[in-house]
Amino acid sequence: MIQKIIEETTSRINSIQRPHPIRVGIDGPSASGKTTFSDQLADFIRLSNKSVIRASIDGFHNPPDLRYRTGKFCPIGYLEDSFNKHAVIEQLLQPLGPKGNLLYRESQYDFVANQETQVERLQASPDTILIFEGVMLFCDVLHPHFDFRVYVDTSTETIIDRALSRDRKRLGGEAATLEKYERRYLPGQAEYAKRHKPRDQADLIIDNDDYSNPCIVTLRHASGHSTRPKLKPSTV
């Protein structure tokens, strides 16, 4: 990921003044590069000896019987039933927010093993920074609990290309991956964008269609207005 974008994002996060941990949400479509960006952002912030909690919506999946209760390929089911959003709030975002007790859990579900986990509560310090990433984060229920919001954007064509490379083995081959994306994931994320307008919620939007040369396309200022900076830095 581009170093200057990491630095710009870190600068914006560091400018936020809160009496509690800064909760950063990083949203975007499947295979947009959210995880890579989040990992690199967390690593860069830690270079300043700051405490960082790195968590993902994947740690708050619902069990399969609830995720697929409306059908394996139902896009509305994907949007509404994939994640336990109330657990995200109660276990993570609320404890780290205003009047929170700073005792949090960074996950409660093992997505690979498809089972709930008994993760102990951890104690955060008030100056901790939470980097929380995943799909469909800026829904009406979750987005008010973030202090800074980043949207990592990517075209549908790029999503498919990356999905075939990344998810082929997990989803059972190329044909099965295409079917899952075309019938469930992409329509579900399109419905999410229609209902919740995540780009409008974002403080910063990154065009990550080209892994080697992403760029900031929208930067929302404290006053509320947005600019489109011409930020095309060189790669790391």
235 domain residue, yes or no: no
pLDDT(181) > 50: yes
How many domains does the chain fold into?
1
Task: Let me know if residue 196 belongs to a domain.
Answer: yes
Across 203-227, average pLDDT: 81
Query: Over the chain, what is the mean pLDDT?
Result: 92
Q: Which amino acid is at 10?
A: T
Decide if 33 is inside a domain: yes
What gap in Å lies between CA 127 and CA 125, rounded to an integer? 5
DSSP lists the bridge partners of residue 29 as none
Residue 25 placed within a domain? yes
The pLDDT of 175-202, averaged and rounded, is 97
pLDDT grade for 225, boundaries at 50, 70 and 90: low
Confidence of residue 227 (pLDDT cuts 50, 70, 90): low
For residue 223, is pLDDT > 50? no
Q: Is the pLDDT of residue 93 over 70?
A: yes
Whether 200 is in a domain gets the answer yes
Instruction: Say which CATH number the domain at 123 has.
Output: 3.40.50.300
- pLDDT tens, residue by residue, 198-207: 999 999 999 9
Supply the pTM of this predicted model.
Answer: 0.91
Assess if residue 48 is contained within a domain: yes
Give the residue-averaged pLDDT of 72-98: 97
**140 falls within a domain:** yes
Q: What pLDDT score was predicted for residue 235? A: 28
pLDDT of 232 higher than 50: no
Q: Beta strands 204-207 and 122-123: pairing type?
A: unpaired
Q: What is the pLDDT of residue 2?
A: 77
**Residue closest to 138 by CA, chosen among 1, 53, 29:** 29
User: pLDDT at position 17, please?
Assistant: 96
Q: Percentage of residues in the chain with pLDDT exceeding 90?
A: 84
pLDDT at res. 143: 96
Determine the pLDDT at residue 224. Answer: 55
Report the distance separating Cα 73 and Cα 12, nearest Å: 39
Give the DSSP letter string of 142-165. Answer: TGGG-SEEEEEE--HHHHHHHHHH
- Measured distance CA(53)–CA(88) in Å, rounded: 14
Per-residue pLDDT at 231: 42
Look at the alpha carbons of 64, 168, 108, 17 in this order and tell me if their dihedral is positive or negative: negative
Is residue 236 scored above 80 in pLDDT? no
Identify whether 234 is part of a domain.
Answer: no
Q: What residue numbers bound the domain in which 23 lies?
A: 3-224
Instruction: Supply the pLDDT for residue 187.
Output: 98
Q: Give me the DSSP letters along 35-91.
A: HHHHHHHHHHHHTTT--EEEEEGGGGBPPHHHHTTT-TT-HHHHHHHSB-HHHHIII
Cα 180 from Cα 177, distance rounded (Å): 5
